[in-house]
Each structure stands twice: as structure tokens, then as C-alpha cells.
Amino acid sequence: MLWERDHAPDALQARFGFTDVDEATGWLTGVLRRGWGLPVVDCERVLISDHNAIAWVRTDASRLVVKVGSKASAFERLAAIADVLAELDAAGLPVAAPLRSIGGARRVVDHTDRPLSVVVQPLVEGDLLDTADAVAVRAAGAALAHLHEAAADLPTAGVMTNRGVPEPDLRRRLLTGIDAAGSERAPRACARLAELLVELPDIDTPPRLIHSDYRGTNILMSGRRVVAILDFDEMTVDHRVYDVARAVVNLATRFRSWRPTTPEARTQFLAGYRSRGMLTEREEGWLEAFILWMGVGSVPPGDDPDGWAAAVEHGL
């Protein structure tokens, strides 16, 4: 299990219909042979995350990552995301573009006792972003700006299939971040957010395709160079400052470790972003508001061992 604490064999059976890893490996071997003409030599490991499974497989020529989804309502969306990844790859973004199947599709649905979505991507070697490395963090910020630039004109319809549309009124959306509990745990941050929601003029840029889960665990590095942006499953259409703010707040979070971003990492990440993607004056104001909103929302009830309240009160 990637982040959940469920019993993995039970999850494999309940979510994907396989009694064990051997049965899942046999199915994967057949799907890659039939759908992509690829002979699987070995399945090295399988991780489960919600309704998705990720398998690392080896063929006689390369190593691949196979993403399997079991939530049928997401299939059309997953196919659209696979096509977006191909477009981003063509634009020079560091992404693992899905391989085309024999039939030409980048996403295939196969049937066992239920339909399963299958996407095959090349394995990219690298290390997860070290948020203590200022140069690497700056590069990660610039890569997000490049992503926003490349995705600005891509079609969005399929990506939003069966996905809720974010509240378009930003003031109304962010007001949900100010409640009694948040005001008590992070009073200065909540007071500043309330100020901004009164003072800020309406944002002056349109929503666009964004990653929506850009954090250290989804950024692969080779040295201080971004070699792959991972996990586009949360891709949506929203303002780019939402994406930047979410990245700033969650950059240091890991699968079962939820630490706030240090001020130094925040500064370097934003400097990297601004070096490639300049924000308008209004966007800068809304960026501050989104960072406060997400930060306050990350403060846990009860014990706060990772120091979220203190981080938010001191500007994250």
C-alpha cells in the first residue's frame, strides 16, 4: 500500500479482483502482450493507491511502469490525461509519455471480472526531490511554470469528465478556510486571509489545466535537474496560483509523513517559478491568499507534532 494502512492482499482482491500478486502478474503479462506486443520478463513490485495500482515490470528490452485503474467512472478522464501527457512530452516537458498500444490508443480497457484501465509508461530513473536542496527546489519551481505554460492551450473537456468543477468565486471558496478552530490555532494567518478576501481585486487570468498534486514525491530528480513530473491523476482546470500555492504548502509532504515546507524551500520554489512564469500583480495577491487558506486547512485537530500551526503563523 502506498499510503493507506489496509491489508494489501484484501485490497488487491476487493479493488481489482485478483486473489494474489501471481494472478495479477499473469494478467499483466497477458495484457501487455496482447495490447502492446511487449513480452514481460518479470513484475518487480506492485503498489496500491486508492482505486489505482502501479506495477513495475521488466521486458526483454526495458523497464516499464503500468498504471491500472479500477474506477470505471474515471476511465474517460484517464484516457484524456494520457493524451495530455503525450502533448506535454512533445512540448519538451519532463514527463513519461504513455506508450501507444498496438491499436494506437494510449489507454486501454481490459476485462477480467470487471473492466480495468491500463496505461503503460517508460520507467524514468531518478530520486525524489530533496526539499533541503535549494538549487533542486528552484528547478522544481521552474518546471511547474513550464508545465503551466505548455498546458495553457490544451483541450480540457475530457480531463474534467466526472470531476467536480472548483468553485469559480475565489472569495467564496476561500471563506471556507476561516472557521473557529482555524482562527484559534492560527489567528494571525486567519486574520490576514480575512483581510485579503476583502481587499483583493478579482483575479485577472483564466483557469487552465494544472497538475493539482505537485509535491516532492511527484518530482524525480537527476542531481539538480527535474527528469520527470509524476502522477497527473489529480489534473484539473483551475487557476495556476492554486497549483503554485498547493505545491508551496505540500512540497515536503511524503506518503505517511506530513511536514510543512520550510521558509527557505518556499522562497526558492517561488523564485524558480517566477524565473519562468511571471504572475500578474493580482495573481500574486491571490497566491498569498491560497497559501494561507491551504496552510490553515493543513493544521490538524488536536496534537500538531509536525508544527503546522507554527509554520502557518510564521508565513509557512
Question: For residue 103, what are the domain limits?
Answer: 8-122
Same domain as 97, residue 48: yes
Q: Using the predicted structure, report yes or no on whether residue 309 has a pLDDT greater than 80.
A: yes
Which of these, 274, 202, 270, lies nearest to 239 by C-alpha position? 202
Instruction: Examine residue 2 and state whether it is found in any structural domain, yes or no.
Output: no
Render pLDDT for 191-246 as a digit per residue (tens, 0 to 9): 999 999 999 999 999 999 999 999 999 999 999 999 999 999 999 999 999 999 99
Same domain as 288, residue 152: yes
The stretch 161-179 carries a mean pLDDT of 88
Question: Which pLDDT does position 277 carry in this prediction?
Answer: 86
Calculate helix-pair angle for 134-151, 75-90, nearest 10 degrees: 110
Same domain as 309, residue 205: yes
Question: Which pLDDT does position 314 carry in this prediction?
Answer: 86
Question: Which pLDDT does position 77 carry in this prediction?
Answer: 96
Same domain as 306, residue 178: yes
Do 158 and 95 form a contact (C-beta atoms < 8 A)?
Answer: no
Same domain as 180, residue 143: yes
Q: Cα angle at 238 between 237 and 242, to 5 degrees?
A: 140
Do 271 and 139 form a contact (C-beta atoms < 8 A)?
Answer: no
Same domain as 137, residue 265: yes
* Sign of CA pseudo-dihedral 184, 185, 187, 192: negative
Do 27 and 112 form a contact (C-beta atoms < 8 A)?
Answer: yes
| Cβ atoms within 10 Å, residue 284 | 13
3-state secondary structure string across the chain: CCCCCCCHHHHHHHHHCCCCHHHHHHHHHHHHHHHHCCCEEEEEEEEEECCEEEEEEEECCCEEEEEEECCHHHHHHHHHHHHHHHHHHHCCCCCCCCCCCCCCCCCEEEECCCEEEEEEEECCCCEECCCCCHHHHHHHHHHHHHHHHHHCCCCCCHHHCCCCCCCCCHHHHHHCCCCHHHHHHCHHHHHHHHHHHHHCCCCCCCCEEECCCCCHHHEEEECCEEEEECCCCCCEEECHHHHHHHHHHHCCCCCCCCCCCCHHHHHHHHHHHHHHCCCCHHHHHHHHHHHHHHHHHHCCCCCCCCCHHHHHHCCC
Q: Using the predicted structure, report yes or no on whether residue 181 has a pLDDT greater than 70.
A: no
Q: Give the domain-ending residue among 122, 145, 162.
A: 122
Instruction: Examine residue 105 and state whether it is found in any structural domain, yes or no.
Output: yes
Instruction: Examine residue 165 and state whether it is found in any structural domain, yes or no.
Output: yes
Instruction: Examine residue 1 and state whether it is found in any structural domain, yes or no.
Output: no
Which residues sit opposite 229 in a β-bridge?
Answer: 219
Same domain as 213, residue 108: no
Domain total of the chain: 2
Render pLDDT for 56-111 as a digit per residue (tens, 0 to 9): 999 999 999 999 999 999 999 999 999 999 999 999 999 999 999 999 999 999 99
Same domain as 58, residue 137: no
**Dihedral, CA of residue 136, residue 140, residue 146 and residue 148, to nearest 10:** -170
Q: Using the predicted structure, report yes or no on whether residue 180 has a pLDDT greater than 90.
A: no
CATH number of residue 215's parent domain? 3.90.1200.10
Question: Which pLDDT does position 130 carry in this prediction?
Answer: 97
Compute the radius of gyration of the chain from its Cα atoms.
Answer: 21
Render pLDDT for 251-303 as a digit per residue (tens, 0 to 9): 999 877 789 999 999 999 999 999 998 999 999 999 999 999 999 999 988 89
Q: Give the three cell numbers for residue 66.
A: 503500468
Q: Give the domain-ending residue among 122, 156, 184.
A: 122
Task: Say what the pTM is.
Answer: 0.94
The stretch 159-167 carries a mean pLDDT of 91
Q: Please give the Cα distance from 229 to 184 (Å, whole number).
A: 37
Render pLDDT for 140-162 as a digit per residue (tens, 0 to 9): 999 999 999 999 999 998 999 98
Same domain as 210, residue 65: no
Question: Which pLDDT does position 131 carry in this prediction?
Answer: 97
Same domain as 151, residue 97: no
Q: Using the predicted structure, report yes or no on whether residue 316 has a pLDDT greater than 70.
A: no
Q: For residue 197, what are the CA distances in angstroms to 7, 30, 171, 200?
A: 44, 55, 6, 6
Q: Give the domain-ending residue among 122, 147, 167.
A: 122
The values of phi and psi at residue 42, to 5°, are -160, 145
Same domain as 224, residue 207: yes
Same domain as 217, residue 163: yes
Instruction: Examine residue 190 and state whether it is found in any structural domain, yes or no.
Output: yes
CATH number of residue 71's parent domain? 3.30.200.20
